[in-house]
Amino acid sequence: MDAAEVQKKVYEMVEKMQGKKKLKPKDISNALEAEGATKEEVKAALRELIDGGKLVYSYFGGTAVEIPHTEGSANPQS
């Protein structure tokens, strides 16, 4: 799969699940491997998106990948 396409798919997958399920790098990799991408391609796409700030790692007991947003704890008035 071409690198831009993998990145697009990764991003869309995270976007779709945001707030519903914390996706681990492994979940993303499994899903895209099923669509024909390789492990290495997914890893490279994740790294590109994360180094570019479009996605971030989060940690709530386990590590997940999310779109940057303000989390509940950082949000005093609600």
Binding region for another protein (CB under 8 A): 19-22, 24-26, 43, 47, 50-51, 53, 56-63, 66, 68-69, 71-76, 78
Q: Amino acid letter at 8?
A: K
Q: Which is nearer to another protein, 8 or 24 (CB)?
A: 24
In sign, the C-alpha dihedral spanning 17, 61, 31, 5 is: positive
Q: How far is the CB of 4 from another protein (least distance, A)?
A: 20
How many angstroms separate the CA atoms of 47 and 28, rounded? 13
Residue type, 66: E
Q: For another protein, give the closer residue by CB, 38 or 63.
A: 63
